[in-house]
């Protein structure tokens, strides 16, 4: 009996030997305190379009007894109409994270390492680890820009965020095309989560490059982070492969309410442009005020500013702001551990931020 018990003890945790272990992505903090100013997760400070509210009120709850359309037709067709492409060129998912994860699983299977910057969205290496995709993180230059020559080597695929996060730096279409020209034999993903805040999308390049996949999201410029809507646009064959993987994984990824509200958002172009203009105006005002306080940063074309201060440690500034219920993002990582990523809030929120920073730095 004793020997049997010893065998059980020895094997107690043996099942762990076959578990896939990864270091998970750490999302931005979602604090629950009252009267806070939340500038840490790049959410839009304004509500979604009034058409979204109207669609929610009018949604027939009885439809929830039915499975949603696996092809997400109403949303893909509206997005196709908006961007001037065919519906077969559009793929939608539960946030751009879901879309990107599907793309990693679908396109990066050659055995050669995929390439992406060392300072960028920190989910890329998590997906690579999860799906056992070899990868190489290419160091950004000292000014946080990307050297296109670093991506003209043998690889199994490329992921380029534009504008990059957390730096906010935008690369030109000529830059993107240089990468595409040198990598015709692999899929190149351009992650455009922040493109609406001041950049030119790579969509015009789709006509020339059938290996280009562009990924965007409703979470930032369309103020719908809580609904989780992302989408990809690309060559019809690329999109068909994405659908094959999705339908093998989970056919019903998007619920009926989300499809209805997302479609309503795309239809309200006037509100979309109005909201973008407000965020951009506040961003430019914030840049000037932060410069006056001595902060240093590259020119952001996103809805955040990635800044450091030559006289104060970022971690100290972060802690002080947190004590005032102002939340910004601090990354305790090599090369960027003296930077803060500050999302753009409303005018009032940014004025309070500047006031508190002024008091701290005096």
* Burial of 90 (C-beta count, 10 Å sphere; 0-12/13-18/19+): buried
Domain membership of residue 32 (yes or no) is no
Q: Which of 268, 290, 309 is the last residue of a domain?
A: 268
Instruction: Indicate if the pLDDT at residue 283 is higher than 60.
Output: yes
We report the CATH number of the domain holding residue 310 as: 3.90.1150.10
| Segment 342-362, tens digit of pLDDT | 999 999 999 999 999 999 998
Domain membership of residue 16 (yes or no) is no
Pick the closest to residue 45 from 256, 264, 268, 221 (CA basis).
Answer: 221
| Segment 111-158, tens digit of pLDDT | 999 999 999 999 999 999 999 999 999 999 999 999 999 999 999 999
Mean pLDDT over each residue of the chain, to the nearest integer: 95
**CA distances (Å), origin 310, targets 49, 119, 165, 257, 314:** 40, 20, 22, 48, 9
In this structure, the answer to whether residues 327 and 182 fall within a common structural domain is no
Q: Please, are residues 213 and 189 in contact by the beta-carbon 8 Å criterion?
A: yes
In this structure, the answer to whether residues 165 and 251 fall within a common structural domain is yes
In this structure, the answer to whether residues 185 and 295 fall within a common structural domain is no
Q: What was the pLDDT predicted at 159?
A: 98
| Strand 340-343 relative to strand 326-330, pairing | antiparallel
Going by pLDDT thresholds of 50, 70 and 90, the confidence category of residue 2 is low
In this structure, the answer to whether residues 349 and 289 fall within a common structural domain is yes
Q: Which of 268, 294, 326 is the last residue of a domain?
A: 268
We report the CATH number of the domain holding residue 183 as: 3.40.640.10
Q: What was the pLDDT predicted at 3?
A: 56
| Segment 23-41, tens digit of pLDDT | 887 888 888 888 899 999 9
Sheet of 135-138, strands arranged across: 90-93, 230-234, 212-217, 188-191, 158-161, 114-117, 135-138
Q: Which of 268, 295, 314 is the last residue of a domain?
A: 268
In this structure, the answer to whether residues 188 and 43 fall within a common structural domain is no
- Total domains in the fold of the chain: 2
CB atoms within 10 A of CB 82: 13
| Segment 42-82, tens digit of pLDDT | 999 999 999 999 999 999 999 999 999 999 999 999 999 99
Domain membership of residue 12 (yes or no) is no
In this structure, the answer to whether residues 277 and 245 fall within a common structural domain is no
Pick the closest to residue 239 from 203, 212, 207 (CA basis).
Answer: 212
Residue 96's domain comprises: 50-56+67-268
Three-state secondary structure call for residue 140: coil
Q: What was the pLDDT predicted at 254?
A: 94
Report pTM.
0.93
């Amino acid at each position: 009996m004793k020997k049997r018990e010893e065998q059980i003890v020895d094997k107690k945790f043996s099942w762990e030997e076959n578990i896939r272990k990864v270091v998970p992505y750490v999302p931005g903090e979602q604090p629950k305190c009252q009267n806070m100013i939340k500038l840490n997760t790049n959410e839009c400070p304004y509500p979604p379009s009034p058409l979204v509210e109207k669609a929610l009120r009018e949604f027939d709850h009885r439809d929830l007894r039915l499975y949603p359309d696996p092809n997400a037709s109403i949303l893909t067709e509206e997005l196709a109409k908006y961007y001037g492409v065919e519906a077969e060129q559009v793929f939608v998912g539960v946030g751009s994270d879901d879309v990107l994860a599907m793309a990693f699983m679908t396109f990066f299977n050659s055995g050669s390492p995929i390439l992406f910057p060392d300072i960028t969205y920190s989910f890329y290496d998590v997906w690579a680890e999860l799906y056992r995709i070899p990868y190489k993180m290419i160091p950004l230059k000292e000014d946080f820009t990307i050297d296109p020559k670093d991506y003209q080597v043998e690889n199994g695929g490329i992921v380029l965020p534009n504008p990059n996060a957390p730096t906010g730096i935008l690369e030109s279409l000529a830059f993107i095309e240089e990468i595409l020209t040198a990598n015709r034999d692999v899929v190149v993903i351009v992650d455009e989560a922040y493109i609406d805040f001041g950049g030119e999308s790579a969509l015009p390049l789709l006509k020339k490059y059938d290996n280009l996949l562009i990924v965007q999201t409703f979470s930032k410029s369309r103020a719908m982070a809580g609904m989780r809507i992302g989408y990809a646009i690309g060559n019809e064959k690329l999109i068909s492969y994405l659908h094959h993987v999705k339908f093998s994984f989970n056919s019903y990824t998007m619920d009926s309410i989300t499809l209805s509200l997302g479609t309503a958002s795309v239809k309200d172009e006037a509100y979309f442009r109005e909201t973008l203009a407000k965020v951009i105006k506040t961003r430019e005002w914030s840049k000037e005020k932060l410069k006056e306080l001595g902060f240093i940063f590259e020119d952001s074309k996103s809805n955040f500013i990635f800044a450091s201060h030559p006289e104060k440690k970022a971690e100290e500034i972060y802690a002080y702001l947190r004590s005032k219920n102002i939340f910004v993002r601090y990354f305790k990582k090599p090369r960027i551990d003296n930077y803060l990523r500050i999302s753009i809030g409303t005018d009032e929120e940014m004025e309070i931020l500047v006031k508190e920073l002024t008091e701290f730095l005096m």
